[in-house]
Amino acid sequence: MTSQESVRYSAVVLGGGDPGDEFAAAHGVPVKPLIPVNGEPMALYVLRALHGSGRVARIAYVGPTTPEIEALIDLRVTDNGSLLGNLEAGVEALEAGGVRKGERVLVVTADIPMLTAGEVQDVLDSASTDAALVYPVVRREVCEAAYPGVRRTYARLRGGSFTGGNLFILDPALISQFLPRLREVLAARKAPLKLAGLIGPGIFIKLLTGRLTVEALEAKVSSLLGVQARALITPHAAVGTDVDQDEDLALAEAYLRGKKNPL
């Protein structure tokens, strides 16, 4: 067994959602992760990938469940109504159950049903071990090659265009240090002037013009959050492809059935 294979993570799966989500309501479920993909809640695909990776020892699931989901989780946590609130609640539940010294936590959204066990394993084995926060990103060409016609939001950097992943790795011992600042950054993400004030006008202009490097962005995020943060460029399109609307659902169902992308 290699040193990487001996590493075991705990995981927080974010399965909550907006109770007024029209997408979920249209499919007859209270939250998006319970929407059926080929007859099964999409969250089940994520949980199976975590179990199959051989790297995840415990799973705290935040949000409504089904009996099938209950069978694959260790802790059920009540939905707090917000992304960061659910993240905090999930990490606190794991800590209450006892987190080993030096253990890191994998945080995953429950709406990426195309994620596989091998991809989870590769992301965890490739992640920096000296960073408090590791955030996978996927190149645009990787997403479009895997799922032709898929629509994602991309950030244009000097090294290419990237979409953010729907999972990340953190040091739970440091979460109290960076969470307040992360909340402030997320609150400003749709207010350009406020965001520019947080990250600095020079960085903001470089980001807008595609001249910002991945390394410079890492350094700025680390400075903003007060902990060491690292981006992980992953070749796995599923990491950056969530199901947000019916065309995404159709893509996921066709892909998982082994058929051609209908888009």
The structural domains of the chain, ordered by start, are 3-256 (3.90.550.10)
Distance, CA of 54 to CA of 7 (rounded, Å): 9
- Of residues 65 and 212, the one with the higher pLDDT is 65
What stretch of H or E contains 86?
helix 83-96
- pLDDT the model gives residue 8: 77
- The DSSP code for 190 is T
pLDDT of amino acid 2: 46
Higher-confidence residue of 203 and 21: namely 21
Element (H, E) at 185: helix 175-188
Tens digits of per-residue pLDDT, 43-61? 999 999 999 999 999 999 9
> Worst-scoring range by mean pLDDT, 3-7, 128-132, 148-152, 206-210?
3-7
Tokens of 145: 């090659």
In degrees to the nearest 10, what's the CA dihedral of 190, 151, 120, 229? -30
Residue 86: its pLDDT value, please?
92
Query: How high is the pLDDT of residue 32?
Result: 96
Pick the residue with more confidence: 183 or 247?
247
Please give the pLDDT value at position 3: 46
pLDDT at position 85 over 60: yes
**8 A C-beta contact, residue 37 and residue 83:** no
pLDDT of residue 97: 77
| Residue with the two structure tokens 């946590």 | 77
Q: Give the tokens for residue 39.
A: 């007859």
Least confident of 81-85, 90-94, 133-137, 241-245: 81-85
Does residue 261 carry a pLDDT above 50?
no
- Tell me: pLDDT of 262 over 60: no
Between these two residues, 88 and 19, which has the higher pLDDT value? 88
Percent of the chain with pLDDT strictly greater than 90:
56
**At how many degrees (to 10) do helices 214-225 and 175-188 cross?**
110
Q: Please determine, for residue 139, whether its predicted confidence score (pLDDT) is greater than 80.
A: yes
Give me the mean pLDDT over the 121-127 stretch: 95
More confident residue, 121 or 185: 121
| Residue 110: pLDDT over 50 | yes
Give the model's pLDDT for residue 178: 80
Q: What is the pLDDT of residue 140?
A: 95
Cα-to-chain-centroid distance, residue 159 = 22
Question: Taking the CB of residue 185, how many other CB atoms lie within 10 A of it?
Answer: 16
pTM of the model: 0.89
**145-159, 172-186, 191-205: which has the minimum mean pLDDT?**
191-205
pLDDT band at residue 192, thresholds of 50, 70 and 90?
low
Poorest-confidence range of 104-118, 146-160, 204-218? 204-218
Report the pLDDT value the prediction gives residue 1, as an integer from 0 to 100. 39
Total residues belonging to the chain: 263
